[in-house]
Chain A
Amino acid sequence: MTIHDDAPATGTPGKNRGASGVASGDIKCREIFKWFGSSLIIEDLNLDIAHNEFVCVVGPSGCGKTTLLRMIAGLTDIDNGSIEIGGTRVTKPLATVGVVFQQFGLFPWKTVLRNVALPMRAAGVSKEEAFTRAREAIELVGLKGSDAKYPAQLSGGMKQRAGLARALAIRPEVILLDEPFAAVDAQTREILQEELLNLWGRHKQTAVFITHSIDEAITLADRVIVMGAHPGRVVKEIPIPIERPRTVASVRRDPLYPSLREEIWDLLRIPTSTPKGQ
């Protein structure tokens, strides 16, 4: 129990810092409230994520972590407060943000290549360039040779690789991942974690990664945001000072790993206040 550092940002300062001093991959969440019907899902949430920082959000079911991600993605309205990405207030999905969905979100009637190229085509990029960049992204995630396949011909792990390629191909400033490895088997999950570490090490961008798994969070993150439920809020922000480059095995071997794991576990175990109306 040595790490009790609540300093907000451990990520590298942005090189894309504009005149306003805001980097293109900065995320600022201010006084966020969210209701579903009459129940309060998120209460007064404040969170700063630095440019090129990798943040994992963990928390019990119903703590609103997916809702938070969807609000950052511009897919869910914010009832109160504001979210800014690189100084731009989020009111709809931004062009600088890539999203990786839990259930992959691939179009069954499109080949891998066309799925990955779609957001670029929609943004008006020429067909040749979109396909070239899509092929690069497909190769980057290790799906080379599967360009012409339909999603139904891919395994779960390969589908999520395609989902990742689609999010990366637009060269986003921010990538949002909603429990992306929850729908694949345990071994594939570790392989994908390893590949994501590797990929992110080479092509940095701000990453917000939602997960149920404490191990996954420690493995990937610069900082773990622990959320509590009823209503959802940030309980604690825990920096993960394990050196990069990391591998799944090197993180498990790290002397800091057991204490970090225990700390997060203890935070998740704290009984949260009883849900309102129960």
Chain B
Amino acid sequence: MSIDNEKVVASATPPATNAAGRPSTEEIGRLIYQRRQRRLRRQRMVFLSIRVLSLAIVFIGWQIYGSHTIAILFAPITTVIHEGYTLFAQKGLGGQLLTSVETFFWGYVLGMVIGVFLGMLTGAYRAAEAAISMYIFALYATPMVALVPIISLWVGYNFHAQVVIVTLFVVWPVTVTVFHGIREIDPELLEVSRSLRLNRRQTWLHVLLPGAVPFIMTGATQGVAMGMVGVIIAEVQTQLTGIGDALQTQSSTYHTAAALAVILLIMALGLTLRMMLSLLKRWIVPWQREEQGRRH
């Protein structure tokens, strides 16, 4: 960010030359800076071009293959997009999307809160680790799909069961990541906080919590992926609602193009959530942004 400001300032100053007509040091610095900026812009352009080219190849390939196969198995991308539009316009896919997002939101928030709490507790206190970490790792290793029928039995075939299922998908990877994160906080920093005579509360506030933030963010990213899986499974396996409903209805009636459109929508939703999270990360972890800023 700061680099751009410098650039504005630099280009605003008129070119200065000394008596001999040779460019001044500032002028040379400015030229070198501009050259570096041009190179960076070029690298970004190359990156973007490759990405656009790759998308074009995939979509053209999809289009050609889709046009030469039977509609029950696959469909060209144009048909898929058209079907997607129809779903939104006539079949209420927008409303279903909102339903799924709501389920995801509550399950995700609950999973994050419980996961961060459990991760920090077991990471920081040996007694807590001894008491509960084996359950956490056992559940982490268990495919949560296995619990879905039992959850439905206990909670019912409703919204609440769906939220619980999403929570269960989110909570274990978050817990495990935060647990390891707390463990990886530089022991020297804990030593320093002892030497600076920080009490327990101050150590949590100034050392453990901020130290765990990057790991919480990593957990949050994993949680998004797991939460998305949880939402679709919860909606298909319990009460048929939301995007899960759309997916199930379209694919079970062999509307393959429409089902593919729903899948594309799920992908887009996952990507959007990830992007929102990385923006949030830049804002929450400013000391890491500075670090990365120096590397470029």
A residues with a Cβ closer than 8 A to B are: 73-75, 93, 95, 99, 101, 103, 105, 107-110, 118-119, 122-123, 150-153, 166
Contacts and interface: CB of A to CB of B under 8 A. Distances in A.
Contact of B286 (A105, A107, A150, A166): A150
Interface in B206-261: 206-207, 210-211, 213
Contacts of A105: 188-189, 191-192, 195
Contact of B195 (A73, A150, A151): A73
* Chain A residues touching B, majority SS: loop
Contacts of A110: 206, 210, 287
A153 B290 CA distance: 7
Q: Which 5 A-B pairs have the closest CB atoms?
A: A105-B192, A109-B210, A152-B291, A119-B196, A150-B287
B200 to A, nearest CB: 11
A109 B211 contact: yes
Given A103-B188, A109-B211, A118 B196 contact: yes
A108 B197 contact: no
B192 to A, nearest CB: 4
B51 interface: no
Contact of B194 (A93, A103, A123): A93
B199 interface: yes
Interface of B: 188-189, 191-192, 194-199, 202, 206-207, 210-211, 213, 285-287, 290-291, 294
A95 B197 contact: yes
Given A152-B290, A153-B294, A101 B196 contact: no
A153 B292 CA distance: 10
A241 B167 CA distance: 71
Nearest to B207: A107
B213 A109 contact: yes
A75 B196 CA distance: 11
B176 to A, nearest CB: 23
B15 to A, nearest CB: 29
A120 B205 CA distance: 15
Nearest to A166: B196
Given A109-B213, A109-B287, A75 B194 contact: yes
A75 B294 CA distance: 34
A101 B194 contact: no
Contacts of A73: 195
B291 A93 contact: no
Contacts of A108: 287, 291
A187 B94 CA distance: 65
Contacts of A75: 191, 194-195
B188 A122 contact: no
A150 B293 CA distance: 12
B215 to A, nearest CB: 13
B191 A152 contact: no
A99 B199 CA distance: 17
A150 B210 CA distance: 14
B196 A152 contact: no
21 contacts: A73-B195, A75-B195, A93-B196, A99-B192, A105-B189, A105-B191, A107-B189, A107-B207, A109-B213, A118-B196, A118-B198, A119-B196, A119-B197, A122-B198, A123-B197, A150-B286, A150-B287, A150-B291, A152-B290, A153-B290, A153-B294
Nearest to A149: B290
Given A101-B192, A118-B196, A123-B197, 5 more contacts: A75-B194, A93-B197, A103-B188, A105-B189, A166-B196
A117 to B, nearest CB: 11
B214 to A, nearest CB: 9
A153 B287 CA distance: 9
Nearest to A108: B287
Contacts of A150: 286-287, 290-291
A133 to B, nearest CB: 14
Contacts of A109: 210-211, 213, 285, 287
Nearest to A153: B290
A122 B202 contact: yes
Nearest to B196: A119
A119 B192 CA distance: 10
A226 to B, nearest CB: 26
A105 B193 CA distance: 9
A99 B195 CA distance: 7
Contact of A107 (B191, B194, B206): B206
B230 to A, nearest CB: 32
